Structure 1
Amino acid sequence: MNSRHSLLIAISIFFALVMALMPLPISFEPYRPDWVLMVLMYWSLAVPHRLNIGTAWVVGLLMDLASGSPLGVNSLTYSVCIFITASNFQKIRNFSLWQQSILIALFLTLYHLMQFWLNHFLMGVYFSPHYMWPVLTGMLCWWWIFLILRKYRRHFRIR
């Protein structure tokens, strides 16, 4: 039973990886939400005993390898965000959905600023305001991600 639940969580993370790597038209690319991080945050809030920082680290490494970013950048940023959400899951779960979406926007802002800082340190990338568009789209998508994954979790009785 436990391995079945872990497999179902892994399947949802796999679909988030596919969504993150799926090609989009060039005009929509700056607005792409951070699907993987939001799915990881959902599972760390819903079932924190099943998804931990190590899982976030491994998924971040997969994302680094798949996207061609410097190895460890996504791992570190995912791990920090999941650490914060998992350590405060009892408080965050009690917030309403719109309050959670604002908090998710803050986490996504932290994620993007850490990504920028690491990429600036490693590759000399300069800041551009379009780096923050995924924060807004992620905040708006949080409602859908939360509701879809909650229905998925309840349907398969993932605990």
Structure 2
Amino acid sequence: MQKARGVGVIYLSLLLALILTVTPMPAMVQLFRPDWVLLVLLYWVLALPYRANIGMAFVLGFLVDVLVGTVLGVNALAFSVVTFVVASNYLKIRNFSILQQALLIGLLLAFYHLMIFWLSHFLTGVYFLPDYLWPVLTGTLAWPWIFWLLRRVRRQFKIS
């Protein structure tokens, strides 16, 4: 019962992140939207790497592709690669301070966005605009708050 509730809370947080990803926003604010799904997924990979893994990252990336309307598989591949990096180093990353984690998450978000651009350029011929990197800044700034909120949820529901 406890285990099922924990998995339900993880899936509910990821569903909320998916909803935040497709929530309509004004065009000016749209540029700054953090990558909610990736941030929440990275928290769960750091906190519970045996529950949130690369397979979950691939499925969530595919769902983001479908919901946002990008080429199928682009986000799935990028989510999987970034999740692999975090999952293979989760013990080291856990020991970082929250500021160090935010900086590392910022680097991973930059890597994610550059990978998305590279794949999109290869497949559809889009050109790079500096505006592509605004979510990196907002995601880096949002990480401490997401970390604090999800840690509180994890402790309140005793998810392990």
TM-score (normalised: structure 2): 0.98
- Tell me the amino acid that sits aligned with residue 27 of structure 2: I
Partner of 2:100: 99
Secondary structure, aligned partner of 1:23: coil
> Once the two structures are superposed, what CA deviation does each residue of 1:121-145 show, in whole Å capped at 9, x if it has no partner?
1110000000001100000000110
Post-superposition shift, 1:80? 0.4
Structure 2 residue ranges without an equivalent (≥5): none
Q: Which amino acid aligns with 2:36?
A: W
1:128-139 equivalence runs, <5 A = 128-139=129-140
Residue range with higher mean Cα deviation, 4-13 or 95-104: 4-13
- What does 1:1-159 correspond to in 2, within 5 Å? 1-159=2-160
- Residue 2 of structure 1: CA displacement? 2.2
Q: Percent of aligned pairs with the same residue? A: 54
TM-score where L is the length of structure 1: 0.98
Write the distance in 1 (CA, Å) between the matches of 2:20 and 2:78. Answer: 19
Q: Secondary structure at the match of 2:28?
A: coil
**Partners of 2:106 and 2:68 in 1: CA distance:** 23
- 3-state SS in 2 of match to 1:28: helix
Q: Report runs of 4+ in structure 1 exceeding 3 Å deviation.
A: none
Alignment: residue pair count: 159
Paired amino acid for 1:27? M
| Coordinate RMSD, CA, aligned | 0.6
Distance, in Å, in 2 between the alignment partners of 1:75 and 1:26 is 25
**How many angstroms apart in 2 are the aligned matches of 1:68 and 1:112?**
16
Query: Quick one: distance in 1 between partners of 2:13 and 2:55?
Result: 17
Amino acid corresponding to residue 72 of structure 1 in structure 2:
G
- Structure 1 residue 98, shift from structure 2 partner: 0.4
Q: Deviations over 1:29-48 (max 9, x none)?
A: 11110000000000000000
| Residue segments in structure 1 that go unaligned for 5+ positions in a row | none
Query: What is the CA-CA distance between 1:93 and the residue it aligns to?
Result: 0.4
Q: CA deviation at 1:6?
A: 1.2
